Amino acid sequence: MSSSMSSSSSPSSTLFYLKHTPQSRHYPHPSSNSFPFYFTMRNLFRTEPEALSAIDFTGSFTDVWRQIRVSMVMPPLTAAIGVCAVMSLMMFVERVYMTVVVLLVKFLGKKKYTQYKLEALKEDLEQNRSYPMVLVQVPMYNEKEVYKLSIGAVCSLTWPSDRLIVQVLDDSTNEVLRALVELECKKWIQRGVNVKYETRNNRNGYKAGALREGLNKDYVFDCEFVVIFDADFQPDEDFLWRTVPYLLENPELALVQARWKFVNADECLMTRLQEMSLAYHFAVEQEVGSSTCQFFGFNGTAGVWRIRAIEDAGGWKDRTTVEDMDLAVRASLKGWKFVFVGDLEVKNELPSTFKAYRFQQHRWSCGPANLFRKMTKEIIFCERVSIWKKFHVIYAFFFVRKIIAHWVTFFFYCVIIPISIMVPEVHLPKLIAIYVPATVTILNSSCTLRSLHLLVFWILFENVMSFHRSKATIIGLLGANRVNEWVVTEKLGNATKPKSNLKPLKRSRSRFGERLHFSELVMGLFLLYVAIYDMLFGKDHMFVYLLLQSGAFFVIGVGYVGISVSN
């Protein structure tokens, strides 16, 4: 699947419980005539031994700790709150802007794809019978559970058989599986479908390398458009009829992107929560990019490209793990335009094991940050696009959605705010701590009304995942270890199996150690400690949120999320 999901992390709005004012704290605010820290310690150690018994050590050390808080902890913590407040407002403004644009587009009927007269284009195409040559690429790697589904779906596309080539790019390392995939291709060849089965002796460039080599085949030279489907995607038969005409109508159009439909969204709680995040990405982020700048990140699958645009942009590159986003940005800088077709859905599968989801989110977060690092200068000095488009790509598309959204969600709501509870001298504005995240969360969740009752679980889960996403963005920005790590998202194909055949959820003791995630457990302990501290000494009821968030870290820390499958 694509790395461009940006997957759009939401800051926690569980802070509705927050009533954070200095006056409500247990500790008094230090007076202006308090002794400096070193005077306190000097007087303590210069006291005569006979008088030590009369000293209130508890009070003395309380004063010392208060002086440490004021002189050493409060300044950096206040600065951190200020930085997080700025990031929160940046994300708030960007979310409100996108909401306004989407509402205007919807009520004014200005969606970009509705400006094309699709039915008239289809009729004209059928009358002239001037069908373009279309290539369908299906990259796969050890896709045992879903290879039949994907091959069967793309081979069933309705398009003149002499104008369609299905190219199965199999990088599988399992020789038995390779034989099965090739056998499936031969079965469709016998039915009259022009299927090309291509393999490589290496995985150089991963998916980008496979797609690049596929386009270099001799039989592809006559193809005008290329459609890409990941191995778990199952397009409807009329997919080409609902996408290719857009490209024929507008020669400046490079990409037509369809929406994803998740066939296993109800498989477990984790898949329901993923659906909430991705629904916002498609319904808002993609729609806004298509309607305003005619640019958005290619999702890596369920899209139709003009091959000439790919060549003009420099072809597929494997310099990051987000080859799809890389190609989209480069094509956009060449002046090509994109359109998102929001009413065209392609069925696919969400990762239902936490291990697969973690690897996917690392790639989707690390890759964009690394690409941002490598392309910022190129975007700034590009002369073929407007300043507005440059600003949209650098600020909104990359900086706010791919970096700021992850950082503010984790550092502010899981680190800075909990620490501030133990430093009562620090003032935490309610506007930033409560109202801004509440508004952002409501806007994000409004795209999946059927899961609105899961809002609290979604917030807590997204906060935990923001820990991994923040770490991945830092790795991407620094080009550190794991920056080019590529792990194919595991598919189970459970959505197409009868419920009676689904494997039950198993929690084997022998595999308990493999499921432990120590970083999540450490975060859970930290938040639990702060929650207990707030229960004993605080008066703002912040412990309610902290206990819930701590529980979420513990649940994920012991691997009790998603489904469990045997090796």
pLDDT per position as a tens digit, 128-185: 888 999 999 999 999 998 999 999 999 999 999 999 999 999 999 999 999 999 999 9
Q: What is the pLDDT of residue 305?
A: 98
Q: Which residues are part of the catalytic machinery?
A: 171, 324
pTM: 0.85
State the 10-residue block means of pLDDT for the chain, 567 residues long. 50 41 42 44 47 54 80 91 95 95 88 81 82 96 92 96 96 94 97 96 92 96 97 95 93 96 94 96 94 93 98 96 96 96 95 93 96 96 92 96 96 94 86 89 89 94 96 94 81 57 44 79 96 88 93 94 73
At residue 491, what are phi and psi to the nearest 5 degrees? -115, 145
- b/e per residue 412-445 (b: at least 16 CB within 10 A): bbbbbbbebbbbbbbebeeebbbebbbbbbebbb
CB atoms within 10 A of CB 17: 15
By C-alpha distance, which of 379, 404, 408 is closest to 391? 379
* 437, containing H or E segment: helix 436-445
CB atoms within 10 A of CB 61: 12
| Identity at 457, one-letter amino acid code | F
Task: Tell me how far apart the alpha carbons of residues 8 and 280 are, in angstroms, rounded to a whole number.
Answer: 8
380: its two tokens:
């700034």
By C-alpha distance, which of 549, 466, 561 is closest to 271? 561
5: its two tokens:
């999901």
Q: How many helices (H) and strands (E) does the chain have?
A: 23, 7
Tell me the β-bridge partners of 338: 255
Give residue for tokens 């407002």: 89
Q: What is the pLDDT of residue 565?
A: 66
